[in-house]
Structure 1
Amino acid sequence: MSEASDFAARLYALARSDNGENVTLELGGVPVFVVQDLDSAHYILRHNASNYLKSMDWFRQALGASRFTENGPAWAERQALSQPFFSRFDREKTVRASVAAARKALDKLYRHANEGRQTIDDAVLRYLAASVMLEVFFDVDLETSGVEPEHIAYLVGFGSEYSFVPARNNIAFSNAEITRFLDIRYKVLHSMQTFRNGDVSEQSLLGRVRKMDADGSHGFRLEHEVTMYFAAASETTAATLGWAMFCLSRWPDIQTRLRSACELLPDLDECLWEDIEGSEILRNFVLEVLRMFPSTPVIARRAIDNDQIGDRFIAADEQVLVSLVGIQHSRKINPDPWKLDIERPAPGGANFGNSISFSTGPRVCGGTRFALAELMSVLLTFIREAKFEATSPDEPNFLFRTQLMNEGGQPVSVSALRSGRFYGNGI
């Protein structure tokens, strides 16, 4: 197992052994400061954010420069381009797209269960998430787009391995692996060229992306930016949906309570965002899944100047990792952090509950509100139309692929509740 693959398990082990305390780990032969204290995280990500640049060079190597990877003016320009669309997206369109995509995903999962499969196919969830993002922000059908979400997932995984290679050392990949990476990267970037074709409004997101690409400032490329939209939106959402299904299967009493609450809402074909948003128990479930299994388990920063955090000296150019796993399992915040508790009031109100789940400060995730709408709409559909049962009692085999994954897929079987959509055993 590579160091990157093992990293997520190390984060959970640290959350238990050094609960809520900052520690120093050796990663790739380099000592790295790992933050598990909430106040320290806020200091790095908010109060002294100007001294801690986002450290995503490895991601730039894999998928190209984008809003996700850049700092300074290059980031500010990209952020100004896309943030108005991420903040003022069409909620009702998101609900309709999410319900439709969730039903298609369930049909696939029912058939998989009927075939005897014991785990969830992550590709189904990636396709679901990517299709919603494309429809809401680009009015594009994923099936006809030519984009393959699994290729993007491969690039993200490759980049997560690269992130653990010490600076100035040789990359520990075989020639065959590098050749495959370059081949898939070419296919991804080539498929993104479809977004250069067709008529679009100059005021749409794609219209503005095309204009900035034509301007060419700060190395902006349409293919790189749209690839980032896929990676940031579909990968994180797919990971969270997988962990939500894991939780539903492991806590059947919570699944039953959620279903009872969801049945009080209007029919899925008539349900509005205001109806879904008003379901406190569903919202709390999403927040608890994100707390226990953060889709992005760690946030990487690099210090510009020397600094001091507690008794730890931070040297200029030193990498710092903010562990969302460690922070969100800290007993300083929650006396019983390993318990899934959907009755726990979520701090932060409208700011997606626990504000650290999607980072905080100037580089907070720009798609937070869209993620909430999509996750709640998809999970409402899942819970009302399907039953989730565990196929294994084993603890998760955590895997770091930039996102937090369960290696081999989530051990969950899905069956239909309604006879009209029956593919599994039902109840």
Structure 2
Amino acid sequence: MENLRFLLRFRRDPISALQELAQTYGDIVHIKLGEQHAYLLSHPDVIRDVLVVHHQQMHKPNLQQQPLGGNGLLRSEGDFHKRQRRMMQPAFHRKRITTYAQVMTEYTQQMSGRWNDKQQIDIAQEMMGLTLSIISKTMFGAEVEQDTQTVYNSFTTWMRLNSAHRFSPLDHALNSLPLPRKKQQAEARAQLDTIVYRMINERRASGKDNGDLLSMLLLARDEEGGGDGMTDQQLRDEVMTLFLAGHETTANALAWTWYLLSQYPEVEETLQRELDTVLAGRTPTPDDISNLPYLEKVFTEAMRLYPPAWVTARRSLDIYQVGTFTLPANSLLITSQYVVHHDARWYPDPQRFDPERWTAEARAQRPKFTYFPFGGGPRLCIGEPFAWMEGELVLATLAQNGACAWLQDKKSRWNR
């Protein structure tokens, strides 16, 4: 595809542009963006090589001038990234995150309790509000409740303005101009910083472990590197990173899951039968998840069709060999979850919503990186266990309360 035409297509519809590249030119596609060499890599073995085998030869590219998460886990590199991840890992141990399950189910029940049969709702907005409430509570405990609306408004403002220019080739130039959106983003960021730093200061002064994520981060020590904890700036960056990663992606995954269930009543019926059999009307707990295999298949298949993170990028530090191809240093290596998840080689009839793709036998027949919604390798999303538990508990809780049937009634109102 001619480069200028690709750029214009990518700006308008990035997912379709990447799909067309892969379907037309194969698993390794070279794109010249001015002086920048970029490559779309779409074979699972090559993706594994980039994300796992040769991860030390890669850095994450800086695609935003002022990321809200600062130098948090999503952006940091090298020894600093290893240190931060090592310190944060205990906060996402399964035993720790199961303590947040009650928050997840209670907040879900409160939300569904506000719905009624004659009401038309924006399910994406409802899921976004729910997951933001959950991450706020699990991050800060009760202390954030007085600021919930400010946090929600500031986050949604920042994300909306950021998304509007995320794929613009002129983004760096636009950021140097005194545009209204730049001022609004700065104001939203400042409001969030004020709240986060206040909570950090209050918690440091009290010295209490409130059982939330902030307590874990404050208590974390780098035992392998001198025993130091995080500075206020480091805490702020990691908190912002977890806020972004901890609610937007899960909310999108849940919204698409409800959409798919509304379009495939036979899947919804099978899911409802499993929930009725296992839960019999009671609120689900983490211990129930292993007894709800169809629920897991539904959520897994939804994230195959609509992966919340649909593209991943790395920048090669040195010359990089891919099969018979030698890629120059500083190449931009692009992998797309959406492209791979819709590849008919791995998923026949890829547009169809089919949870039975996720039997143990079917999984064993596919290469590992035919499915990677949370990335892979040392930079695998640290919050993956949290996201799986939250997604499955929210689905089970809402379906128990009749959400699937409610969505079937409103099927005609869905807008693709």
* TM-score bracket for the superposition, by shorter chain length: 0.7 to 0.9
1:373 to 389, 393, 396: 389
Q: SS in structure 2 opposite 1:96?
A: helix
Secondary structure of the structure 2 residue equivalent to 1:63: coil
Would the aligned equivalents of 1:28 and 1:166 in 2 still touch at CA under 8 Å?
A: no
Task: Name the structure 2 match of 1:257.
Answer: 270
- Which digits, 9 at most, give the CA deviation of each residue in 1:145-196, with x for residues without a partner? 4452342244345445555455995126661111111111111211212422
Contact 1:148–1:188 (CA under 8 A) maintained in structure 2:
yes
Q: Secondary structure at the match of 1:185?
A: helix
Q: Which amino acid aligns with 2:209?
A: S
Q: CA deviation at 1:338?
A: 1.8
* Equivalent residue number for residue 14 of structure 2: 7
- Deviation of 1:223 after TM superposition, in Å, equals 2.3
Q: Is the 8 A contact 2:284 2:397 kept in 1?
A: no
Query: 1:73 is aligned with what amino acid?
Result: D
The alignment partner of 1:221 has SS state of helix
Q: Residue 158 of structure 2 corresponds to which residue in structure 1? A: 155
The match for 1:98 among 90, 98, 104 is 104
**What does residue 5 of structure 2 align with?**
none
Structural mapping, 1:352-391, within 5 Å = 356-385=372-401, 386=403, 387-389=406-408
Residue 186, structure 1, aligned to residue 202, structure 2: no
Aligned residue in 1 for 2:288: 275
> Which residue of the partner structure matches residue 314 of structure 1?
327
Which ranges in structure 2 are unaligned for 5 or more consecutive residues?
1-7, 222-227
| Whole-angstrom distance in 2 between the partners of 1:270 and 1:238 | 20
Q: CA deviation at 1:24?
A: 3.5
- Given the alignment, which residue of 61, 68, 87 partners 2:74? 68
Give the alignment partner of residue 37 of structure 1, picking from 43, 51, 56.
Answer: 43
Distance 1:168 1:107 in 2: 42
Partner of 2:145: 143
Offset, 1:289: 0.7
Rounded Cα–Cα distance in structure 2 between residues aligned with 1:245 and 1:28 = 42
Distance in 2, Cα, partners of 1:309 & 1:164: 27
Deviation at 1:43, TM superposition (A): 0.6
The 2-side partners of 1:227 and 1:243 are apart by 25
Question: Residue 102 and residue 248 in structure 1: after superposition, are their counterparts in 2 closer, same or farther (change >3 A)?
Answer: same
SS of the aligned residue for 2:408 comes to strand
Mapping of 1:4-403 within 5 angstroms?
Answer: 6-14=13-21, 17-18=23-24, 21-25=27-31, 32-58=38-64, 61-90=67-96, 92-108=98-114, 110-111=115-116, 114-117=118-121, 119-120=122-123, 122-140=124-142, 142-146=144-148, 147-160=150-163, 163-164=166-167, 170-171=173-174, 175-196=179-200, 197-198=202-203, 199=206, 200-201=208-209, 205-207=213-215, 209-210=217-218, 220-267=233-280, 269-344=282-357, 345=359, 347=363, 356-385=372-401, 386=403, 387-389=406-408
310 and 82 in structure 1: CA distance in 2 versus 1, 3 angstrom threshold: same
- Letter of the 2:188 partner, please give it: I
Q: Give the % identical residues.
A: 21
Distance 1:292 1:251 in 2: 14
CA 1:294–1:306 in structure 2 vs 1: closer, same or farther (change >3 Å)? same
User: Using the alignment, how far apart are the partners of 1:63 and 1:332 within structure 2?
Assistant: 37
Name the SS of the counterpart of 1:308 in structure 2. strand
In structure 1, what is the Cα distance between the partners aligned to 2:157 and 2:16?
A: 21
Distance 1:276 1:107 in 2: 23
TM-score (norm 2): 0.81
Q: Deviations over 1:50-80 (max 9, x none)?
A: 1111224517534322112111122112111
Count of residue pairs the alignment pairs up? 390
Contact 1:41-1:322 at 8 Å conserved across structures: yes
Identify the range of structure 1 (352-361 vs 329-338) with the bigger mean alpha-carbon deviation.
Answer: 352-361
Secondary structure in 1 matching 2:333: strand
Change beyond 3 A, Cα 1:273–1:218: closer
Aligned letter for 1:127?
A: G
Q: 1:308 offset after TM fit, Å?
A: 2.4
Structure with the bigger percentage of helix = 2
Change (3 A) 1:245 1:271: closer
Alignment CA distance shift 1:149-1:6 (3 Å): farther
Measured in 2, the distance between the counterparts of 1:28 and 1:89 equals 49
Structure 1, unmatched stretches of 5+, are: 395-409, 413-427
* Greater percentage in strand: 1
CA contact (8 A) 2:161 2:181 kept: no
Going from structure 1 to structure 2, the CA distance change for 1:81 and 1:316 (only over 3 Å counts) comes to same
User: Compared with structure 1, are the counterparts of its residues 150 and 286 closer, same or farther at alpha carbon in structure 2 (3 Å cutoff)?
Assistant: farther
Q: Residues of 2 paired with 1:236 and 1:168: CA distance?
A: 23
3-state SS in 1 of match to 2:64: helix
Decide whether aligned partners of structure 1 residues 294 and 75 sit closer, same or farther in structure 2, where only a CA change above 3 A counts: same
Shift in Å, 1:230? 0.7
Report the Cα offset of residue 241 of structure 1: 0.6
Structure 1 residues 373-382 or 271-280, which shifts more? 271-280
CA RMSD, Structure 1 to Structure 2 (Å): 3.6
Report the secondary structure of 1:32's partner residue: strand
